[in-house]
Structure 1
Amino acid sequence: MSGGLAIGVDIGGTKVAAGTVDASGRILRRARRDTPERSSSPRVVEDTIVDAVEELLADAEQQGEEIVALGVGAAGFVGADRATVVFAPHLSWRDEPLRDALRARFRRTITVDNDANAAAWAESRFGAARGETHVAMITLGTGIGGALLFDGVLQRGRHGIAGEFGHMQVVPDGIRCECGNRGCWEQYASGNALVREARGLMSARSPVAEDLLERVGGDPSRLAGPLVTEAAREGDPTARELLAEVGHWLGVGLANLAAAFDPGMFVVGGGVSAAGDLLLEPARLAYRRHLPGRGYRPEAQIVAAALGPDAGLIGAADLARAEN
């Protein structure tokens, strides 16, 4: 694994976060852009990535630093070729040759991986999962991403798209998902789920949502997940209840994953994980309640990502450096 500086880019449903990362996983400089609307063309998303990376490359040149690698973590199904985004539920990518498109713009080696794979790699190398041999990473943001890392090796699957846990069905004939199916896990345990439920209460003018309505000036469309977390931390009972419900569904899904993969640790990252134990304690309770063979088998730890929302870009940079 080579040293030197690398740029990592984490492409999510709401933001493109980029950073210059050193060999110890430390972010030296950052650039951030809003993710284009879902209806935007792949070229528009590509331009957004290029704009953020060019800012960091210019900064590095000004500082006399060499960038040895560039890695991208994409919120979507990345094919086995590590070059193509086969499908992205929250973006317009369909069989998008992202690696080659970016390589043509930057004229340098570029690696592409799923954003949750990148986050799992970072947490294993620098964060909460150091020393654990069997790790399952869950990223809670606009949707739910996932990754498996066993004995230091990312488990990408035969076709490269393992870990799309957010699209496991947990409620038959449940809420319609962007992937085309119904009842997917991310419709119940993601940032979108949290905001949808809160806005539903607000739009109905429920008295239990008065505090949340006041925080957005009476306009439910202005509500975002971090505001719900903030209200919960400040004691709002409805915000706490909403987070507990998301946490419950998180725990149900983790129990299913434990049955399939038996990891030693679940690392929960992404923006929603900023709620900490307001989310994770209900998840741990639901996990224990739904775990097959409960009481007769070891339980995996459920911990918050140590690197927070930075895990994806740190991992993307470090994976690129490792493969450089």
Structure 2
Amino acid sequence: MLTIGVDVGGTSVRAGVVDGEGLVLDTERAGTPKGEAALEDTITAAVSRLLDRHDATAVGLAVAGFVNSDRRRVRFAPHLAWRDAPVADRISHRLGLPVVLEHDANAAALAEYRFGAARGAHVAVLVAIGTGIGGALLVDGQVFRGAHGVAPELGHLRVVPDGRPCPCGKNGCWERYCSGTALSTTAIELLAKYPGTSSLLAAQVAEDVNAVTGRRVAGAARDGDALAQRAFGELARWLGEGLALVADVYDPEVVVIGGGVSESAPLFLDDAREHYAAIVTGAGHRPLARIRTAQLGDDAGIVGVATMARDLAARTVRNGRGH
């Protein structure tokens, strides 16, 4: 049974045909438009092109935003046009197929549980580190969504009272210190603290402060830039701090580190593991979570939500036969 997963992000819409083994067989991509109707047109067109080439039975949408408990409506998505919108029903009506919605981090976590780094774990947490931090919790393979479908917002745990301002409205959120955005902010702060530093990053910021992006900090660190490596040291420390909080609350068997920043894991993950192990409550007297990098990369959201769509299609078939 083939299904289609769609990763609806703030900059692009990526759709893929996925088989029962979690393999992405074919893809379509388009830019994310700003308007609500245009966004749904873009999704429908991308899926329709795939349906012209493949006999898929259901569609899943992985959304960077809040999805209600029955996974039919998008409550709020900060970088998308939807506000309390019945997206699943509207897309289903246009395509003539069952459609399910899911938060993108939940979808990625399910993919890693079924096919990747969290396979078989009793309690698994996904920490997706990109522009911000997305989080997900699985218990025996079931997504925990909270009472209203919006849990867990790990990126907005406050780790520094009165710290860096966050777009969510609070100050000191975890993702302001541990993300691609945080990496560039830390690098700029270090450059200001140590003026006259001879480094590739110093040369870049002298020309344009906006040139210091997380991706460029990562490249400079791999090239041996001491200041960039120090910025990664700060990211590692804050990742360890946040993981200790996560472990205190959820006591997971495995934590999967995903998102774009995870591609630079050799620069920070060992240090983060050591810091987490040293400060977690009961350090030295309790089992520690295995901390692993995601195996499915950018396809995790597509694979996870396509898997949910496959489950939905199977239930639809069973219910149809029951009638």
TM-score, length of structure 2 as denominator length: 0.87
TM-fit CA distance, 1:201:
5.9
SS of alignment partner, residue 126 of structure 2:
strand
Which amino acid in the other structure matches residue 10 of structure 1? D
2:27 aligned partner: 30
TM-fit CA distance, 1:255:
0.7
Counterparts of 2:4 and 2:202, CA distance in 1 = 40
User: Is 1:188 aligned to residue 177 of structure 2?
Assistant: yes
C-alpha distance 213-318 of structure 1, shift in aligned 2 (>3 A): farther
Which amino acid in the other structure matches residue 239 of structure 1? A
C-alpha distance 238-205 of structure 1, shift in aligned 2 (>3 A): closer
Counterparts of 1:197 and 1:16, CA distance in 2 = 30
- Which protein shows a greater Rg? 2
1:21 aligned partner: 18
TM-fit CA distance, 1:290:
2.3
SS of alignment partner, residue 276 of structure 1:
helix
C-alpha distance 19-258 of structure 1, shift in aligned 2 (>3 A): same
1:57 aligned partner: 51
TM-fit CA distance, 1:129:
1.1
TM-fit CA distance, 1:149:
0.8
Q: Tell me, which stretches of 5 or more residues in structure 2 are unaligned?
A: 314-323
TM-fit CA distance, 1:100:
2.5
Q: What do residues 36-62 of structure 1 show as CA deviations (whole Å, max 9, x unaligned)?
A: 5xxx3333433443343334334x2xx
2:258 aligned partner: 269
Alignment of 1:1-324 (within 5 A): 4-36=1-33, 40-58=34-52, 60=53, 65-198=54-187, 206-208=195-197, 210-212=199-201, 218-324=207-313
Counterparts of 2:204 and 2:94, CA distance in 1 = 43
Which amino acid in the other structure matches residue 5 of structure 2? G
SS of alignment partner, residue 10 of structure 1:
strand
Which amino acid in the other structure matches residue 7 of structure 2? D
Counterparts of 1:55 and 1:219, CA distance in 2 = 42
Decide which moves more: 71-80 or 283-292: 283-292
SS of alignment partner, residue 220 of structure 2:
helix
C-alpha distance 200-6 of structure 1, shift in aligned 2 (>3 A): farther
Which amino acid in the other structure matches residue 41 of structure 1? G
TM-fit CA distance, 1:77:
1.5
Q: What do residues 123-151 of structure 1 show as CA deviations (whole Å, max 9, x unaligned)?
A: 01100111221101111112111111111
Tell whether the 8 Å contact from 1:132 to 1:265 is kept in structure 2 after alignment: yes
C-alpha distance 242-90 of structure 1, shift in aligned 2 (>3 A): farther
TM-fit CA distance, 1:120:
0.7
Tell whether the 8 Å contact from 2:98 to 2:312 is kept in structure 1 after alignment: no
RMSD: 2.5
Tell whether the 8 Å contact from 2:4 to 2:56 is kept in structure 1 after alignment: yes
TM-fit CA distance, 1:193:
1.5
Counterparts of 2:40 and 2:164, CA distance in 1 = 31
2:319 aligned partner: none
Tell whether the 8 Å contact from 1:14 to 1:142 is kept in structure 2 after alignment: no
Counterparts of 1:91 and 1:174, CA distance in 2 = 27
Counterparts of 2:166 and 2:284, CA distance in 1 = 34
Counterparts of 1:171 and 1:155, CA distance in 2 = 26
Which amino acid in the other structure matches residue 152 of structure 2? G
Decide which moves more: 43-52 or 206-215: 206-215
TM-score, length of structure 1 as denominator length: 0.87
Counterparts of 2:197 and 2:81, CA distance in 1 = 37
TM-fit CA distance, 1:215:
6.8
TM-fit CA distance, 1:310:
1.6
Tell whether the 8 Å contact from 1:89 to 1:179 is kept in structure 2 after alignment: no
